């Protein structure tokens, strides 16, 4: 397989894993039913978060790990869930590519 295509697939796997990890973190925090209701909010100021504040990994880094409004710290568990998801997603793709030869 072309190395460029393999790289794109691994990055796609990592991004997909980060999204799944982010949702898993929400489910752990709010419970299954709570995760399906309503938009995410800051735990401190309760402001509803905009879509660009919810991009896995990137939003945390760009906001410096803090809420844009009240500047209170965002819990590290959200970042950890996204990182673990990204690593697992990339590893799954690498494993599949290796198995397919």
pLDDT score recorded for residue 81 = 95
Q: Splitting the chain (101 residues) into consecutive groups of 10 residues, what average pLDDT does each group show?
A: 93 97 92 87 93 94 95 92 97 96 78
pLDDT score recorded for residue 6 = 95
Q: Can you give the C-alpha Rg of the chain in angstroms?
A: 16
Question: d(Cα 98, Cα 101) in Å, to the nearest integer?
Answer: 5
pTM: 0.87
82 burial type by CB count under 10 A (0-12 exposed, 13-18 middle, 19+ buried): buried
25 burial type by CB count under 10 A (0-12 exposed, 13-18 middle, 19+ buried): buried
């Amino acid at each position: 397989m072309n190395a460029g295509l393999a790289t794109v697939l691994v990055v796609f796997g990592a991004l997909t894993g980060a999204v799944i990890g982010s949702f898993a973190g929400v489910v752990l925090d709010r419970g299954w039913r709570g995760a399906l209701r309503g938009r995410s909010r800051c735990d401190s100021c309760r402001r509803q978060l905009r879509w660009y504040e919810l991009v896995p990994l990137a939003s945390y880094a760009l906001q410096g790990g803090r809420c844009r409004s009240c500047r209170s710290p965002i819990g590290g568990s959200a970042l950890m869930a996204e990182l673990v998801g990204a690593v697992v997603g990339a590893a799954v793709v690498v494993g599949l590519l290796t198995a397919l030869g």
